[in-house]
Amino acid sequence: MNDNRPIGVFDSGVGGLTVAKEIKRLLPNESIIYFGDTQHLPYGEKSKESITKFTTAITRFLVEQDCKAIVVACNSATSNSIDEIREAAGDVLVIDVISPVAKKVAYELNQKIGVIATKATVNSHAYKKYIRKYNRHLKVIELATPLLVPIIEEGFRNTQVSKYAMELYLSNKKFEDIDTIILGCTHYPLIEKEVQAVFQGRVKVVDSPLIVVNHLIHEMRKLNLMTDSTEPNYHFYLSDYTENFAKLAKHFFGKSITLEQKQL
């Protein structure tokens, strides 16, 4: 039995594209409907109430679009509103970006795990809670690094600006002896190499998009949700059209994608 309905993916902006791109790489035949809530970007500085309002509306929209699975490709949304999102999704499969990563990390040979993320994610302590659920003995140090999102949105990766921002953040005493780092924001895979450079190889960077998409595949197989089509469609909805989003979406998905403005 096959299921040719699309996979829904959403984020406040371009960050979720790192997850969507990984879905395309590992599931090249699946169609994707992406919702970028650029009108309310960035979620990482917003309150729990606001994030919940926005993300449940998007979830209901993706259910209406007949998505067979919904990937919450945003850490701030996952950490603040995952229960409400699951409720809004009804019986549609929901995959978040934190719990699969936390589980994977908890069972490896780590001692002290650093997490960099937005304020909204750090304030929720979602990574600490999830990781400790699986392994109570791990130390988890969470650090808010909110400027990294706008640095990435501005295209200032690989400059002195990103270098010094990362040095300022990562030289924090709390991170002194971490052995593993989780990039707890879907934007951050775009600066993974720079994070590695700061630590000069002595810290392992967790590949979150890979873990999340592997988990998605596992759950889709279990529920017989894999497609047998070989003609995937990529449809992008934006609550506010931004050049930056269009550019990055086309860079990852090619020029034949559909971009549509949509307010919820």
Contacts for 214 with CB less than 8 Å, ≥ 6 apart: 26, 100
Q: How far is the CB of 135 from a second copy (least distance, A)?
A: 32
- Of 106 and 166, which has the nearer Cβ to a second copy? 166
Q: How far is the CB of 50 from a second copy (least distance, A)?
A: 5
134 is in an annotated binding site: no
- Of 11 and 153, which has the nearer Cβ to a second copy? 153
239 is in an annotated binding site: no
Q: How far is the CB of 263 from a second copy (least distance, A)?
A: 9
Q: How far is the CB of 124 from a second copy (least distance, A)?
A: 15
43 is in an annotated binding site: yes
Q: Check 27, 72, 73, 185 and give the catalytic one.
A: 185
* Catalytic site includes residue 67: no
Dihedral (Cα; 120, 43, 79, 220), 10-degree rounding: -160
Tokens encoding 23: 């879905």
Could you give the CA distance from residue 257 to residue 264 in angstroms, rounded to a whole number? 21
User: Own/partner pairs for 237-240, CB < 8 Å, 24+ apart?
Assistant: 237/33, 237/34, 237/35, 237/36, 237/61, 237/261, 237/262, 238/35, 238/36, 238/38, 238/262, 239/35, 239/36, 239/37, 239/38, 239/39, 239/40, 239/263, 239/264, 240/38, 240/39, 240/41
**Phi/psi at 230 (5° precision):** -125, 20
- Of 48 and 235, which has the nearer Cβ to a second copy? 48
159 is in an annotated binding site: no
11 is in an annotated binding site: yes
Question: Residue numbers of the site for a second copy (CB under 8 A)?
Answer: 38-41, 45-47, 50, 146-147, 149-151, 153-154, 156, 159-161, 164-165, 167-168, 240-242
Q: Check 41, 74, 181, 212 and give the catalytic one.
A: 74
- Of 108 and 167, which has the nearer Cβ to a second copy? 167
44 is in an annotated binding site: yes
- Of 47 and 233, which has the nearer Cβ to a second copy? 47
CA distance readout (Å), 152 to 28, 161, 248: 26, 11, 11
Q: How far is the CB of 7 from a second copy (least distance, A)?
A: 27
Tokens encoding 69: 């699975």
Please identify every residue annotated as catalytic. Answer: 74, 185
Annotated binding residues for substrate = 11-12, 43-44, 75-76, 186-187
